[in-house]
Amino acid sequence: MRIDLHTHSTVSDGTDSPTRLVMRASAARLAVIGLTDHDTFDGLAEAMAAGARFGVTVLPGVEISCQQNGREVHLLGYGVRTDDADLNAELALIRNSRNGRLLRMIQALQSAGVRIGIEDVHRVAGTASSLGRPHIADAMIAKGYVDDRDEAFRDWLNEGRPGFVRRYACDLARGVDLVHGAAGAAVLAHPWARGADAVLTPEVITGLAREHQLEGIEVDHQDHTAAQRSLLFDLGGRLGLVRTGSSDYHGTGKKNHELGCNTTRETAYRELCRRIALRGGVLGR
């Protein structure tokens, strides 16, 4: 049973529609996927309907933009009730901050000689309801300033580069509590990727598990080294965390993250579903 619990669609910064994503998952022989678009639930209904047609179970999820000690980190919420008022208010606040940052980033890029406008970003973003730096990168690609998203982030959009602007993100511990308030299970996304181990130390992860009942930790991820995966697996085992693996698939928007390149063990998936059910959350179908 092949299970990939971290994927994105065109509703946020992926390049496949929710339906196309499910079709690709079926072709990749995945039995279960988690749709975890950034800060929005908007693709879930379409994905779950497609899952029923193509024989793929879709576990509803969301990837929440959080911060720990001033550094952006990400939290996966699985099985949350999408009508929860508190979580929806927080996600709306994050999305509004995303939109406001777009304008400031475009102004910064224009000052550095990159002539793109907000209309260029909306053109490449299409129907996305959660906009971010990848859409600015896509606008830069369309205008010929860079060849791909990797180049755009490396030279223009990462922290310390000309187009970078900070935005609001939810405090991580509060994010875990909001996921629980919405009856879902909380899993740290790629916790040691791209230097996040500086703030998501074993001590911090231990505190989240013991004081906020964090359910899980994403261990097998393309941005983790083999050594990091081993250490995270052992840490998660000691803390009683569900240890997941996933592709973090974005379609053509992220290289070397093909569907199913990392997967979650069936026993871990069943345990995650058990914990969602105990909280009264929504299971995949």
The CATH number of residue 236's host domain is 3.20.20.140
Give the mean model confidence (pLDDT) for residues 139-146: 96
* DSSP one-letter string for 145-161: S-SSHHHHIIIIISTTS
Q: Does residue 228 fall inside a structural domain?
A: yes
Residue range of the domain that includes 231: 3-91+168-279
The predicted-structure confidence for 37-88, as pLDDT tens digits, reads as follows 999 999 999 999 999 999 999 999 999 999 999 999 999 999 999 999 999 9
pLDDT at residue 50, as a whole number? 98
Q: Does residue 130 fall inside a structural domain?
A: yes
pLDDT at residue 255, as a whole number? 87
Residue with tokens 């990848």: 134
Q: List CB contacts of 100: < 8 A, sequence separation 6 or more.
A: 167
The pLDDT > 90 percentage for the chain reads 95
Q: Is residue 53 located within the same domain as residue 116?
A: no
Give the mean model confidence (pLDDT) for residues 155-159: 95
Q: Is residue 188 located within the same domain as residue 110?
A: no
Task: Assess whether pLDDT exceeds 90 at residue 285.
Answer: no
Q: Is residue 182 located within the same domain as residue 72?
A: yes
Distances (CA, A) of 88 to 17, 63, 73, 212: 22, 13, 19, 20
Q: Is residue 64 located within the same domain as residue 126?
A: no
Alpha-carbon span 123 to 139, nearest angstrom: 8
The pLDDT > 70 percentage for the chain reads 100
Q: Is residue 77 located within the same domain as residue 111?
A: no
Nearest to 139 by CA among 152, 120, 126: 120
Among the candidates 136, 157, 178, a domain finishes at 157
Give the mean model confidence (pLDDT) for residues 11-21: 96
Q: Is residue 190 located within the same domain as residue 49?
A: yes
Alpha-carbon span 30 to 263, nearest angstrom: 9
Q: Does residue 162 fall inside a structural domain?
A: no
Q: Does residue 163 fall inside a structural domain?
A: no
Q: Is residue 199 located within the same domain as residue 107?
A: no
Element (H, E) at 64: strand 57-68
Q: Does residue 199 fall inside a structural domain?
A: yes
Q: Is residue 19 located within the same domain as residue 44?
A: yes
Output the domain CATH number for residue 120: 1.10.150.650
Task: Assess whether pLDDT exceeds 90 at residue 111.
Answer: yes
Q: Is residue 55 located within the same domain as residue 177?
A: yes
Task: Assess whether pLDDT exceeds 90 at residue 234.
Answer: yes
Task: Assess whether pLDDT exceeds 90 at residue 24.
Answer: yes
Q: Does residue 33 fall inside a structural domain?
A: yes
Alpha-carbon span 54 to 184, nearest angstrom: 25
pLDDT at residue 34, as a whole number? 98
The predicted-structure confidence for 160-184, as pLDDT tens digits, reads as follows 999 999 999 999 999 999 999 999 9
Q: Please state the domain count of the chain.
A: 2
**CA Rg, the chain, in Å?**
18
Alpha-carbon span 229 to 224, nearest angstrom: 6
Q: Does residue 245 fall inside a structural domain?
A: yes
Q: Is residue 189 located within the same domain as residue 253?
A: yes
pLDDT at residue 253, as a whole number? 85
pLDDT at residue 127, as a whole number? 86
Residue 219 DSSP SS3 = strand
**pTM: predicted TM-score of the whole model, two decimal places:** 0.94
Q: Is residue 200 located within the same domain as residue 63?
A: yes
Q: Is residue 178 located within the same domain as residue 46?
A: yes
